[in-house]
Chain A
Amino acid sequence: EVQLVESGGGLVQPGGSLRLSCVASGLVVSTHYLSWIRQTPGKGLEWVSGFHGGGAIDYALSVKGRFTISRDDYKNTLFLQMDTLRAEDTALYFCVGGRGNIFFEYWGQGTPVTVSS
């Protein structure tokens, strides 16, 4: 059974930083396609960043230059470093993955991020 468990969310002031983690079990992060997706009541679901084939990385325009995705293959863990956070980054962040990069088979339960002063 695949499990994705996120952590690292919390309350941070505008301009601050957070690092989200996603520990995977039942799948190997280096051979699967993993992404971060966020959800807000107002904007719905939004893809944030992800690993594609061959280790290629992509970002949504809204976070490019501020967020950095990475992974630790030995710890089978995915990360999202979020810098220069803005109020509009407030959301529930899901770690998601699958055997391909076209749709998302596996979802974590999410970790909440609140950016507010």
Chain B
Amino acid sequence: SYVLTQPPSVSVAPGKTARITCGRDNIGSKSVHWYQQKPGQAPVLVIYYDNDRPSGIPERFSGSNSGNTATLTISRVEAGDEADYYCQVWDGNSDHFYAFGTGTKVTVL
């Protein structure tokens, strides 16, 4: 199976920085995309192609990807950032085509 491993939870104080990791062997060779999902809502794309932001996503959201780990960084965390976050890759050469991470619950203290 194509597993992207994320920490189940991350806690962060308002105004601080949250870092959410997404791990897999050689993930740095793939493009990683990130989604934010608030309770009862559909996921929202917040980062694509490792570090690009869709229109309307604050600059506080950024990404990086190298080696075996991709990271979503949320700077100056706000209460409204509390949500589940999922990473995702596309691998057209595998039977899975699309793989999602296990998800990380970000709690703002």
Give chain A residues whose Cβ lies under 8 Å from the Cβ of B42. Answer: 94, 107-110
* Chain B binding surface, main DSSP class: strand
Q: How far does the Cβ of B31 sit from chain A's closest Cβ, in whole Å?
A: 7
A103 touches B48 (CB 8 A): yes
Known: A102-B33, A105-B54. A45 touches B45 (CB 8 A): no
A103 touches B97 (CB 8 A): no
A102 touches B95 (CB 8 A): no
CB closest chain-A residue, reference B90: A102
B45 touches A60 (CB 8 A): no
Known: A61-B95, A102-B90, A103-B33. A46 touches B44 (CB 8 A): no
Using C-beta atoms within 8 Å of the partner chain, give the interface range for chain A: 20 to 34
Give chain A residues whose Cβ lies under 8 Å from the Cβ of B35. Answer: 104
B86 touches A103 (CB 8 A): no
C-alpha gap A36/B98 in the complex (Å) = 11
Q: Give A contacts to B, CB under 8 Å.
A: 35, 37, 44-47, 50, 58, 60-61, 94, 101-105, 107-110
Nearest 3 interchain pairs by C-beta: A47-B98, A103-B33, A107-B42
Q: List 13 A-B contacts (CB under 8 A).
A: A44-B100, A44-B102, A47-B98, A47-B100, A60-B96, A60-B97, A61-B95, A94-B42, A102-B48, A104-B33, A107-B43, A108-B42, A110-B42
